Amino acid sequence: MSDPGLRERKKQRMYQAVSDIAVRMFLERGFDAVSVAEVAAAAEISKPTLFRYFPAKEDLVLHRIADHEREAARVVEGGRAEGVAPLAALRRHFLDGIAAGDPITGLNDHPAVRAFYDLLYGTPSLVARLHAHLERSEAALAEALGGGLGARLAAGQIIAVRRILAEENWRRISAGEPVEDVREDAVGAAERAFATLEAGLPYLATPDITR
C-alpha cells in the first residue's frame, strides 16, 4: 500500500514547482501575456492536469500566499491554548512579522518579494481573486472565534485591519522608502489599530471569548 503522506508531499511539490514556473514567466513577460497552455508546456504537464491543480490562472500566483488563509485562525487557536486573548495574540503575531520582515506585513524590500507583490497588486484579475482569499481567511477566523454573526463581523474587521496595515507598508516600500524608515511608523500604526479593535471588540481582548 502506498504511503498517503508521501502522495501528499509529492502533490505539494507539484503545486510549488508549477507555481514557481508560472510566477517566473509572469514576472518576465507579464501576467496577461502568458497563457495557461504555455505554463503547462514549461512545466511539462498537460493543460487539463494543470487545471486539476489550479482551477484558475490566478491561482498559479496566489498559491504562494495560500498557506496564509488560515494564519489568523491558527494564531487565535494557538493563543487560546496559551491562555492569550485573541486580539493580543493577533497583535503580537503582526508585530513579530514586522520585526522579522515577513512579506505578508508589507515590510520587506527584497527584490524578489517586491517583484511578486508588484505583480499581485498591479494585475486587476489577481487583485479580484485576492478577495476570495481574504473571504476564506475571514471564514476561518470567524470559526476560530466561535462562529455566528458576531464572529463573522469581528473577523471581517480584523482581516481588514491586517490587510490595510500591510498595504500601507507595501505602498511606502514600493515608493522607495527604506524599510527601517517605515518600520517604526508601521509598529505605531499596528499598535493603534489593534487598540481600536480592542476598544470596539472588548470580549476579544480577554482569553475567554465565549458569550
> Considering only CA atoms, which of 63, 70, 68 is closest in space to residue 142?
70
**What's the confidence (pLDDT) of residue 1?**
46
**Quick check: 211 pLDDT over 80?**
no
Over residues 153-191, the pLDDT tens digits come to 999 999 999 999 999 999 999 999 999 999 999 999 999
Measured CA angle at 32 (ends 70, 39), to 5 deg: 75
Q: Which residue do the cell numbers 463581523 mark? A: 153
pTM confidence score: 0.86
**What's the confidence (pLDDT) of residue 3?**
61
SS3 per-residue string spanning 132-150: HHHHHHHHHHHHHCCCCHH
**What's the confidence (pLDDT) of residue 7?**
79
Over residues 27-79, the pLDDT tens digits come to 999 999 999 999 999 999 999 999 999 999 999 999 999 888 999 999 999 99
Q: 197: buried, middle or exposed (CB in 10 Å: 19+, 13-18, 0-12)?
A: buried
* Local structure of 38: helix, strand or coil: helix
**What's the confidence (pLDDT) of residue 2?**
52
